Structures are given as structure tokens and as C-alpha cells.
Homo-oligomer: A and B are copies of this chain.
Amino acid sequence: MALRDTHVTMAHGGGGRAMRDLIDEVFTSVFQPPGMEDQARLMEASLQQPGARLAFTTDSFVVTPLEFPGGDIGTLAICGTVNDLAVGGARPLWLSAAFIIEEGCEIALLRRIVASMAAEAARAGIRIVTGDTKVVERGKGDGVFITTAGVGVIPPGLDLGARHIQPGDVVIVNGVLGDHGATILAARGDLALSVDLNSDCAGLGHLMQAALTAAPDLRAARDCTRGGLASALNELAAEAGVAIELDETRLPLRPEVVGLCELLGLDPLYLANEGRLVLFCPPDQAGGLVAALRSLPHGEGACIIGKTLPAPAGRVTLRTAFGGARLVDMLIGEQLPRIC
């Protein structure tokens, strides 16, 4: 056991033995990447099929607090990138993980985060194959920031994307909205609130695979992270050149989340989710798609929430319980900083 330190020091970022010990003991002993070179060298038969495409995505994670009910920054860093791959129809293959650690960070905390990452990666069937660590001085970071990049393979013939969305398509989500955002908000402890909520953070590759089987004409999917369902729908409506109409009576919202939002003047449609997909399919496949999702973990709450209309392009509206309609615009700024 070479690593005697309990907290990260600047020496752990210097390229010498202290860094090597930290990397070996805390990271590579758990992730077990292939090889010891500076890069991973990989191949997969599926990637060499004619017509297969490679999917490539990245996200940085700066959530605060680092640990919260239902997950931690490590869970997020895996699920976020796995889900970005999955919504394009890609099967996740390989992941990179880069850590920017603040001097003074507890090594026990790093170990817990790394354990979360390894467990989540195993669940998602993705391998963490390469990584990096840097250390910044106290007051120049915030515990730890993690950046993951993911590589996946999109099978031949599969082409999901906003441009395939048609007027008349049905809009589906896989469960209640806003749990992640509300959980983080409560976990910050600025409010004297005790809410029984957990982040919805989860890898959703299995739901996407089921959706593709149940709805062969699935048009597009998107994960509703930062900016919530509303921001995802605004982007999709603009890219697709359609209008989207949500039905307020069908929106799956937990009373605790609605209550918290009312108290704080927030709108749950803009709250971040880390385990929620929005999917678009033709009406005749919607029932089968919802049923398929409901049979799986993290899909139990799946339901239809609205439909697409030919015009006005890019417009998202909510048809209220009283028969009125209100615009669901894109946020200008942010509801909650550092939510993921």
C-alpha cells in the first residue's frame, strides 16, 4: 500500500511517483483499464460491420454537492455519457474519465466516487479504458470535477435524430420528471427542507434497446438533463421544424416535486433529470412502446405526454387542465446552477 495520504496534495498532480501511486491505487486498481500505455487500443467486431457508425460524446460534471440521495458525481459522470450515446441508438462501448481534483480533497471521497463509477459502468456494460488526473490548488476547484467521453457503435441502418420527427408523432417519457433537480436542490441544505426524494440518475441503454424493438419507427430520443424536459423539447422542435403540444393532465410529476417547485417559484418542466428520456414515435407504435418501457427498471412510469403538430415550427405549448394553452419557452438563464 504505497498511498499513505488521506487528502490530495499538489504533489499528486505533478507527474511523479505520488501521482502514479494515486492513479494506481484509487483509479486503475478499480477501473482495470486494458494496458498501461497513455492510450487505450481497442476494437470491436460490431464497429467493423459495413454501415456501422461510431458515436462519440463528452460531458463535464461539476455537480454540487458531490454526493446526494440516489447517487454522486461519479454515477452522473457515467450515466450522463452512457445516456448521450444511447439516445442516438448507440450501444456504449468505451469510456474515458478525467478528474480535476482540488487540493485537500479527501481520498476516501474519491474512492467512493470511483466505486460508484465502476458499479454504474458495469451495469451499463461499458468499460472505462483510459483516464487522467490533474490537481489544482485549494480555491481553484471544488472537490472534484469529472469529464467523461464515450464511444459507442450505432448498428447499420439505424438512424435516430430530430430531423426524423413528423407532425402527428407521439411524445413519450419514461417516468416522473424533475426528481434529480429537486433532490440536488434539497441536498444543498440552503433550504430548511426535508424532502423524501432521490435523484433519478440511471443508465438508460436498456430502455433504448427495448424502445427500438417495440417501436421500429422510433424517430428520435433525447435525455432531459440540464434545462429539463422543456429545454430538450424546445431544441427538438426547432431542429425538427414542428410544434410540440404537451397535455398538462398527463405530465408525470411527483407531489413532492410539485410542492417544492410551488414553494420556490420553480417550474418542474425545467428541472434537470438524469434518468429520463423523451421519445418520439408514430401513433400506432406508441402503445407498444409505453408497454415495453413499463416492463423495465426506470421505465415503470412511462407515459404519453403529448404530440407533435405541423406548425408553428419550434413552438412548444402546454395544454392546461382547464383547456387553455401556455407557451413553454426556452429558459434564458438558469434555474439551478451546477445541477450535473
Q: Which residues of A are in contact with B by a Cβ distance under 8 Å? A: 9-11, 13-20, 35-43, 47-48, 50, 52-62, 84-85, 87-88, 90, 94, 96-100, 129-137, 139-142, 145, 147, 149, 151, 154, 161-162, 222-223, 225-228, 231, 235, 239, 270, 272, 330-339
Contacts and interface: CB of A to CB of B under 8 A. Distances in A.
Contact of A15 (B54, B85, B225): B225
Contacts of A61: 134
24 contacts: A14-B227, A14-B337, A15-B226, A15-B339, A16-B231, A16-B330, A16-B331, A16-B333, A39-B90, A41-B55, A41-B90, A42-B53, A43-B52, A43-B53, A47-B48, A56-B130, A58-B147, A58-B149, A100-B100, A100-B145, A132-B147, A134-B338, A135-B337, A137-B338
Contacts of A225: 15
Contacts of A18: 332-334
A220 to B, nearest CB: 9
Contacts of A154: 41
Given A38-B88, A47-B47, A60-B133, 19 more contacts: A10-B337, A11-B333, A13-B338, A14-B331, A14-B333, A15-B272, A17-B331, A39-B84, A39-B90, A40-B55, A41-B54, A41-B88, A58-B96, A58-B130, A60-B100, A62-B100, A98-B147, A134-B338, A151-B151
A100 to B, nearest CB: 5
A97 B149 CA distance: 9
Nearest to A97: B58
A39 B339 CA distance: 20
Contacts of A40: 55-57
Contacts of A337: 10, 13-14, 135, 137
B14 A38 contact: no
Contacts of A331: 14-17
Contacts of A11: 332-334
A101 to B, nearest CB: 10
Residue among A10, A36, A145 having the largest count of chain B Cβ atoms under 10 Å: A145
Residue among A56, A145, A272, A336 having the largest count of chain B Cβ atoms under 10 Å: A56
Contacts of A94: 56
Contact of A87 (B38, B43, B147, B151): B38
A62 to B, nearest CB: 5
Contacts of A226: 14-15
Residue among A38, A97, A235, A334 having the largest count of chain B Cβ atoms under 10 Å: A38
A155 to B, nearest CB: 12
Contact of A227 (B15, B48, B96): B15
10 tightest CB-CB pairs across the interface, nearest first? A14-B334, A15-B227, A16-B331, A11-B333, A15-B226, A149-B149, A58-B96, A147-B147, A39-B57, A140-B142
A85 B330 CA distance: 39
A17 B149 contact: no
Contacts of A332: 11, 16-18
Nearest to A56: B40
